Chains A and B, each alone.
Chain A
Amino acid sequence: MKNKKITIQEAAELVRDGSRLTFAGFTIWRKPFAVAYELIRQQRRNLHLIEVGGGSISDCLIGAGCVSVYESCWVGHELYGKYGANLSRKVKNREILMEDYSHGEMMFRFAAAAAGVPFAVSQSSLGTDIHNPEYDMLGRAGLRDGVKNPRSKYQFMDDPFYNGGKYVLLPAAKADVAVLSVQQVGEEGTVRIEGQCYCDPTVARAADITIAIAEEIVPESYLRQDSHVNTIPSFEVDYIVECPWNAHPSGMFGRYDVDGDFLRNFFQQTRSQEGFDAFAREWIYGLDHDSYLDKLGVTRLQRLRANTVLKYSTSRGKGK
């Protein structure tokens, strides 16, 4: 049996300069921040970040200058920050290329990739500026090579079977590396996600290399006793990392809540590049995951810890 277990540092090293990277999870839930921080420490550059949906983790990597192309549908911090200030700043300053699709479209694009087909078909977003050919940013930059970037952003066609009208064809989303943040993984790679699975199983299947960052590595035999509640089969996961609290400041069903104060501060502090740099000096550079957790402190983490029956923290609250 291949030993799939690696460290957070090694996981980040699998992402190269220029890699097409994707994160699973959802906005501020189960996002593998421990890996994003390590990518920033390792000063990864020119990433093409392609996600079903973004969130705080995307804005953090973008703020650090790791990302040259961002292809997705949304960046914000939900209740804790109304938009992604780092993405917003870099779009305005033309320091990043942003390619917009809708959330449904991105999901269907990854589902096409996961099914091994070149495109998905949908009627979502017809008539909107998402389909405006002037706004094909990869095309405008001459980056549509037909290899990793599709030859066109969209194609349109009429339903050839049922006379259903106009449809949009969406290119499959190609990712070199997918990083997932999950509750449990077995030594052979079987993943068990509790709560909403978001886009994780699709993204894991679609990417060339899939890395599962887990709160705990558990005996594979334990997961195989109840395979009907598992989420991702062993062979779709290439590498596994055990890293408790790896999603902080995002939350994880059954384990810990979103650290709202942390995200609110991130949004406020990183609206300027100087602010982001100060944030990175305080929370990223010169630290590793253990010293990051030490800096957060036991009291703060205990407050975020989920009630084992309810699956969420009983002490969350605005401004607490």
Chain B
Amino acid sequence: MSLNSDYAKPEEYGLADLLCCAAAREVQDNEVVFVGTGLPMVAILLAQRTHAPNLKLIFEAGTLDGRPAEIPTSVGDARCEAGSSLASGQYDAFSVAQRGYVDLGYLGGAEVDEYGNVNTTCIGDYLNPELRLTGSGGNPDINSFAQRTVFIMLHEKRRFVENVSYITSPGWRLKNWPTGEWVHRREMYGASFRGGPSAVISTLGVFRFAEDTGRMYLDTYHPGTTVEQILEQCQFKLDVSRVSGETAPPTREELHLIHDVLDPEEIFIPKGKKG
């Protein structure tokens, strides 16, 4: 970032602010971005008002190239349509993705494995679940078709696992059904292979995936956490050989935009340290 001198001090921001800014920095100007409900909405509107004013925003419910004036509470919200190029429906949103227009998607998940496979369907055996979650929604669709996807997740040891209970959303190593043998994502998606999970932004750090193997590695650790702490919170053997340093904190300008302009009602991002 160019505003280094403007970085906020640790006591001036919360964890949600840090995640929001880290997420915003994943997008480049002019990209087409597919955004789900929650913190990513604030992140993308933040990017739209800072370094990526020409990004094209797609909401799953059917808004194409939206410029909402107020933060929507979900992608079906009436606030999504404001300033958009086209208000349509899911058929258009998913066709646009499958056609290959989408550069970046923001998603969430309950569990993730070393290859970026994500579970949002159930905890425990699918046929006898401890807890049924929401289900897939558009998570696998966006993740199948976007060039890059960024996952924003709560970091707990039970969530960073060797094998997810159920692969809802496709990572870099996948099962080739109907037989189910493991294959690299490139093999699975053939001519339409465009990329895959590019980052996981957790509550402890930012993780990326090796270009060849698709294995996850730690890129940056958040201020106040350590590499050792993060290793302790992963069930798989995390690659920490490529750590580039600490996650950049929010700038004061970003904090102003988040709290005074984008989410003053604290719908997604609480103010101050409580985030």
By a beta-carbon cutoff of 8 Å, the part of chain A in contact with chain B is: 25-30, 52-54, 72-76, 78-79, 82-84, 87-88, 91-92, 98, 100-105, 107-108, 111, 122-135, 154, 156, 159, 162-166, 195-202, 251-254, 257-258, 260, 306, 310-312, 316-318
Contact = CB atoms under 8 A, between A and B. Distances in A.
Contacts of B190: 123, 159, 164-166
A83 B134 contact: yes
Interface string B247-274: 0000000000000000001110000000
Contacts of A88: 131-133
B98 interface: yes
A312 B144 contact: no
Contacts of A195: 78, 81, 87
11 contacts: A29-B74, A74-B136, A92-B131, A102-B141, A103-B137, A108-B91, A124-B144, A127-B170, A196-B63, A196-B80, A196-B87
With a 10 A CB-CB cut-off, give which of A87, A128, A260 has the most chain B CB atoms.
Answer: A128
Contact of A128 (B70, B174, B192): B174
Given A29-B74, A103-B94, A195-B78, A75 B267 contact: no
A128 B180 CA distance: 10
Given A164-B191, A165-B190, A197 B88 contact: yes
A1 B136 CA distance: 44
Nearest to B267: A318
A135 B140 contact: no
Given A73-B137, A104-B97, A124 B121 contact: no
A120 B177 CA distance: 18
Given A134-B127, A165-B192, 7 more contacts: A79-B37, A102-B136, A123-B98, A125-B170, A196-B89, A197-B89, A318-B267
Contact of B135 (A75, A78, A311): A75
Band of interface residues on B? 35 or more
B132 A83 contact: yes
Given A92-B131, A100-B121, A200-B89, A129 B76 contact: no
Contacts, number: 227
Contacts of B38: 79
A196 B135 contact: no
Contact of A104 (B80, B94, B122, B265): B94
With a 10 A CB-CB cut-off, give which of B63, B98, B190 has the most chain A CB atoms.
Answer: B190
Interface in B73-98: 73-82, 87-91, 94, 97-98
A241 B9 CA distance: 58
B57 to A, nearest CB: 13
A37 B190 CA distance: 47
A231 B11 CA distance: 52
B62 interface: yes
Contact of A124 (B98, B126, B135, B177): B98
B163 to A, nearest CB: 11
Nearest to A312: B78
Contacts of A257: 78
Nearest to B73: A79
Given A79-B74, A132-B175, A104 B188 contact: no
B175 A129 contact: yes
B192 A52 contact: no
A276 to B, nearest CB: 16
Contacts of B70: 312
A131 B138 contact: no
Given A29-B77, A128-B170, A196-B61, A72 B90 contact: no
B7 interface: no
B166 A129 contact: yes
A162 to B, nearest CB: 7
B140 A124 contact: yes
B168 interface: yes
Contacts of B198: none
B23 interface: no
A231 B254 CA distance: 40
Nearest to B131: A88
A166 B140 CA distance: 16
Interface string B216-258: 0000000000000000000000000000000000000000000
Contact of B170 (A87, A126, A316): A126
A101 to B, nearest CB: 8
Contact of B175 (A26, A27, A127, A312): A127
B141 A104 contact: yes
A196 B81 contact: yes
Given A124-B98, A196-B89, A103 B188 contact: no
Nearest to A111: B91
Nearest to A162: B191
A124 to B, nearest CB: 5
Nearest to B122: A91
Contacts of A311: 78, 81-82
B129 interface: yes
A250 B140 CA distance: 26
Contacts of A78: 37, 73-74, 76
